[in-house]
Structure 1
Amino acid sequence: MLVLVIGDFHIPDRAPKLSEKFRQLLIPGKISQIICLGNLTSTSVYEYLKHVCSDLKLVKGAFDISSKAPIAGKITLGSFKIGYTNGHLVVPQDSPEALSILAREMDADILLFGGTHKFAAYELDGCFFVNPGSATGAPNVSAVEDDEKIVPSFVLMDVQGAVLILYVYRIFDGEVRVEKMQYRKPE
């Protein structure tokens, strides 16, 4: 089962559109479920994601003002309990310790979070944390302040029992690069 984890679009406020290179990869019928970590900021992005896969789980991001989406959600895939949130209410934002507390509160084996616009994947305290980054490469406040370039990215998760295979898609110099990672649930 392939699950697309994506978010932080900020279309049209901070980015004009999703890259054509990514659009060519996100073909309807290939993805079983989408977990969107918020900051869609337009109904056209929501409609596009629903076109790619009708099974869309969505949480509210800091800039999804009119969204009725929840702040967080939880699903089970294989033997994993997966929590997901935008991360804008985690204080301090992107703090591994604060995210670890949230994962424990959610009783999650994997915590998906957004809000920073930067891809991250790491293990801490028996939990695996994944931030898919910004689908459009839209800058966040700290990137603008630091004159940092945000790399467009998303991830595909393939759960096989107690093993998560993570495919990280990023655009570098106009080309899509894919990195494969694996996480095995501790026994």
Structure 2
Amino acid sequence: MASNFGELVLVVGDHFIPTRSHSIPPQFTRMLLPGKMQHVICTGNLGGYYYESEEYQRLKELVGGGSANVHCVAGEYDFLSSFPVASVANASSGTTAAIMSPSFPETKVIQLGQFRVGIIGGHQVVPHGELHALSMTRRKLNVDILVCGWKRQEGVVEFDGGYYIFPGSITGAYSASEPNSRPSFILLAVQNDKIVCYVYKLKENAEVDVSKTEFSKKHYIGI
């Protein structure tokens, strides 16, 4: 699959499991198979404590089980803690092993093909989701593409010489700004200096709608 489409990058965020949603829709889980992605980008708000660790493990499975290509940042409701969040007893040895809550940075920059990609939770940009404010953040990070969570309107926007990717919520979790959001995620096919972006959205009739956008590297971005 990767040889035909380039590097496949899953972009997700705002799971909020179990606080605002029970699970990822089965229509999506049937599509997101283990080991099929080269990278996963997550804008945070996986869940909390044990559930956050559990959802993070699922993301790692999508890239074959490792964490090197799972790029997560902290959402406003993530627990940034290195303390044990649960304990599991080992019956054979009588010892207790701690399950650690993953700790994510506020921002992260990665390289995909010829693109520098910045990742943020979105809550730290005010006004939330406002493109002029996001443009300042993109320039500060010196990136071609800014992936941003918090905003529930999924899709890709070109603005002020850069690209902005909003994955929405993969579970359709509500927010104050968008109480009736629909589940969505984004798949990127990165081909050196070109990206094909597929936006997947679960409609009210339980069918999955897919839209496609293509864009190329702008060599002056970030200067």
Q: TM-score range by the shorter chain?
A: over 0.9
Q: Which runs of 5 or more structure 2 residues have no equivalent in the other structure?
A: 1-6, 81-101
Identity over aligned pairs, percent: 37
Structure 2 residue aligned with 1:169: 200
| Aligned equivalents of 2:121, 2:184: Cα separation in 1 | 15
User: Once superposed, what is the RMSD of the aligned Cα atoms?
Assistant: 1.1
1:118 shift after superposition: 2.2
Per-residue deviation at 1:59?
A: 0.3
1:40-88 deviation digits (Å, cap 9, x = unpaired): 0122211111122232111000110235200010011111111011111
Structure 1 residue 151: deviation in Å? 1.1
Tell me the equivalent position of 2:37.
31
Paired position in structure 2 for 1:52: 62
Q: Kindly indicate whether residue 113 of structure 2 is the aligned counterpart of residue 78 of structure 1.
A: yes
Partner residue of 2:153 out of 118, 125, 130:
118
1:14 is the counterpart of 2:24: no
Q: In structure 1, give the amino acid aligned to 2:70.
A: L
Q: Which residue of 2 aligns with 1:62?
A: 76
Provide the C-alpha distance between the structure 2 equivalents of 1:129 and 1:143, rounded to a whole number of angstroms. 19
- Mean Cα deviation higher: 116-125 or 126-135: 116-125
Structure 1 residue corresponding to 2:122, chosen from 77, 87, 109: 87
Per mean C-alpha deviation after superposition, the further-off stretch among 102-111 and 156-165 is 156-165
Residue ranges of structure 1 left out of the alignment (5+ in a row): none
- TM-score between the two structures when normalised by the length of structure 1: 0.94
CA contact (8 A) 2:144 2:218 kept: no
Aligned-partner SS, 2:178: helix
Structure possessing the higher radius of gyration over alpha carbons: 2
In the alignment of these two chains, the number of paired residues is: 183
Give every structure 1 segment of 4 or more consecutive aligned residues whose post-TM-superposition deviation is greater than 4 Å. Answer: none
Partner Cα separation in structure 1 for residue 110 and residue 195 of structure 2: 14
Determine the structure 1 residue equivalent to 2:136. Answer: 101
Residues in 1 aligned to 2:116 and 2:70: alpha-carbon distance in whole angstroms: 17
**Distance between the aligned counterparts of 1:124 and 1:94, measured in 2?**
13
Q: Which residue of 2 aligns with 1:180?
A: 212
Q: SS of the counterpart of 2:177? A: helix
Distance 2:178 2:113 in 1: 36
* Aligned partners of 2:34 and 2:61 also within 8 Å: yes
